[in-house]
Structure formats: C-alpha cells, structure tokens
Amino acid sequence: MFSVITDGQTLLFILALLYLTECLIWVKKQSVAFVSSSGRRWRIAQPIAWLGNANGAMLILNPLPLPGRVFLSHLLPVSISPSGVCAFNSQTLPWGSRPGTQTGEFVPFSEIKKTGTDGAYVVLNGQKFARCATPKQAKALAAVIESAGAAKASRRETILRAWIAKQFDAEDATGVWSEAERVVGPIRWMSLIFFVFLFVATPILVTMFGLERLIIAIAAAMVLSASVIALMFYRAHRKFYPAESSERFENVVKMVLCPPVSLRAADVLTRNVLAEYSPVVVASVLAGSGERQFVRGFVRDLQHPLKHEIADERAAETIEWMTAQQLKYGLAQVERVDRFAGFLEPLQGEGDSVSYCPRCEVQFVVAEGECPDCPGVGLVAFANVGEEVKSSATSG
C-alpha cells in the first residue's frame, strides 16, 4: 500500500512539473508581454532577468487561472524606407536596450533581387539579413520588402505607409482579439476540465482505489482529453496562423505524447495573435491595461531615440524615416484612446532638480549634459521644454 501511494505521488509530481514547464515562455528583448488573470484587467509582465541572456528572458505565467491570457507584441528588427531596408530599428522599449543582433546593414531596393525567409530570419539575395522574433514576423517582413521592391519607386512610399498604418490599426487589432477570444474560449474551458480531472479528481481516485487498478483508465482518459484539445488547437491554429504548419504539427504531437502540455494550448494560440500590431496598439486594445506610463515611455523613445553608431548615410536616413512614421502613426493612435488622454503632459520638477532627460524622464540637479542612462539624449532644463523638443525632432 505504502509503495503504491508513493508511485502515485511521484506520477502526480512529474505531471505537475510537465505542466509548470509549459507555463514558462521566452520573451525576447524587443517583445512586450501583456498578461491578465481575469481576462479583464491587463498588465505588462516583465520577464525574470536572471532567467535569460542578452536576447531575452523567461516569463513565468500564472499557472492557476485559465490559459490563453498572454499576448506578445514584437518590435521590428529592421527599418524600411522608400529607398531600402536597414537591419536596424532605433526603437527600444522603455526598460531595455537594443539587442546586439541588429547589424545595421543597408540594402537599397535596387539591389534586392531575391527575398525569402529561413525560420525566423529574413533572407535577402540568399544572405541572412535580420533575425525576427518569430517565423511569422519574418514572412510578413519578407512579403512587404518584396512588394515594395517590385513596385515603382514612386509607389513605394504609399505601400510602406499603408504597412505601418496597419501596425497601428487598433480597430483591426480589436477585431482579431475578439475573434481569438471567441475561438479560444472553448479550448480554455476544455483545458480547465482536464486540469481539474488531472490534478484534483485523479489524486482523490488514486488515494481511494489505488494506482494499479486505475492506471490504464487514467492514462486512456488523459490521452483522450489531450487529443480532443489537440484537435481543437489544430483547427484554431490553422485559422490564425495558416502558414505556420510546422509549429502546428509540433504542438499537436507534443500534446498527444505528453498530455499535460495540452493544458496550455490556449497560450500557444493567443501568444502571437496580436504580435504584428505595435505594443501601443495592444496596450490600447486590451481593456483596463492602463499602461499610460508604458505608452508615454514608448512615444518619448521615438521622439528622443538613443544614438546609434551607424555611419552609412542611406542607412541612417532609412532609420530616421521609419522612426518618424512610427511616431506619427503611434501618436495618432494613442490620441484616439480616452484613457490615454493627456498622457504627454509636461513633467513637473521635483526638489532641487533643474533638468530632466526627455527620454527616460529622470530628473537632474545639473543644468546641462547627457543622460547617463540614455546615450545621445541631452538633458532639458525645466524652463526650456519647448526648445529641446524642437531641436531633438530635427536631429533625430
């Protein structure tokens, strides 16, 4: 009897461990994760820095509430202007620096003969050009580079503006989000039933009747439940990610072979469903996110980008063009959201401070200089707010 209970406990422990590893997701340095416990109030979750490296870190999702309450948004790894493509995006997230993977290489449209992807890489003329957050992002970028490249030079600007405007289209994003909620809903409930079966009903039954008598029935029920979820996942995944057939196949196999994995199937579906929209759009779509500070930091970074070491003039022009477009569409989008009203109100000086950094908004007691945390961003005296904003907007 004693050894039977120990076997049951060991098994439960292994199942729980398998489940918990599915609650870990990798968040890249240029990605923002939005999470929620209830599905109503959303917040930006920071990954755990010591569980990561230079490219990203692990985020632990709350294992208890229903899955499928995580959305990521990824910044682009490139800048595209009507003249060409540069493997560099000057944008950084308010809490992070730029990833080391952006090379700054510039390729004019006239020299792009062939565009493709290799996993998460955009491939130009047979060479790996930029590393994206996901294969989906790489395919979308390759498609835009290809269509802009094939168009006449005069049409390129229109194509690129439309592409950037789409990343800031909150109505579109809201539509995708509510469709995802509708499709993922039943999967979420199925996961909850399976969760209760696995971690509540099974231990009780095993304690009452012993593992040996139940093991085959329990194993069969587990595989059956996981297969049902895997099938639902397969259909939903095909709808939202039609081109990602290998991700779809991998996950289905994992779920059937290792049933606890299927409990988090909804996370795999929601994770990247809004990923092509700018983080400011995702912050304004997800109700109750109240991420005013994030949105403010995001816009401040576009207005006062960190300096970069890219010497090629055409590359620098492309980076500036892209930053200016992002700022324009980002501001237009944020201004439409009521709860962000007045989010750019000027900073008030505290104590002895006479200046502040217009990017990170830390205050200083010295009148001039550069912010120690934001290379290339000059301090602004509290009296001269208007002046700096102008000079910084022209110097990029």
d(CA 207, CA 120): 48
Instruction: Read off the amino acid at residue 152.
Output: K
CB of 335 to Zn ion, least distance (A): 24
Residue closer to Zn ion by CB (options 173, 371) is 371
Buried b (16+ CB within 10 A) or exposed e, 127-144: eebbbbbbbbbbbbbbeb
- Reference 381, options 363, 395, 394; nearest CA is 363
Residue closer to Zn ion by CB (options 27, 374) is 374
Within a 10 A sphere around the Cβ of 74, how many other Cβ atoms?
21
CA dihedral angle for residue 37, residue 43, residue 49, residue 50, rounded to 10 degrees: -20
Within a 10 A sphere around the Cβ of 39, how many other Cβ atoms?
16
Among 78, 87, 374, 380, binds Zn ion (CB under 5 A): 374
Among 357, 364, 380, 388, binds Zn ion (CB under 5 A): 357
The stretch among 118-126, 170-178, 259-267, 365-373 that binds Zn ion (CB under 5 A) is 365-373
DSSP track, 257-269:
HSGGGGGGHHHHH
CB of 380 to Zn ion, least distance (A): 10
The β-bridge partners of 26 are 58
Instruction: For residue 237, state whether it binds Zn ion (rule: CB under 5 A).
Output: no
Instruction: For residue 206, state whether it binds Zn ion (rule: CB under 5 A).
Output: no
**8-12: long-range pairs with CB below 8 Å, 24+:** 8/203, 8/206, 8/207, 8/211, 11/211, 12/199, 12/202, 12/203, 12/206
Among 373, 383, 387, 391, binds Zn ion (CB under 5 A): 373
The stretch among 21-29, 154-162, 270-278, 373-381 that binds Zn ion (CB under 5 A) is 373-381
Instruction: For residue 360, state whether it binds Zn ion (rule: CB under 5 A).
Output: yes
d(CA 180, CA 5): 42
Instruction: For residue 324, state whether it binds Zn ion (rule: CB under 5 A).
Output: no
The stretch among 20-28, 198-206, 244-252, 370-378 that binds Zn ion (CB under 5 A) is 370-378
Size of the site for Zn ion (CB under 5 A): 6
Among 371, 378, 388, 392, binds Zn ion (CB under 5 A): 371
CB of 271 to Zn ion, least distance (A): 31
Contact 159, 151 (CB under 8 A): yes
CB of 203 to Zn ion, least distance (A): 53
Instruction: For residue 359, state whether it binds Zn ion (rule: CB under 5 A).
Output: yes
- Residue ranges that bind Zn ion, judged by CB under 5 A: 357, 359-360, 371, 373-374
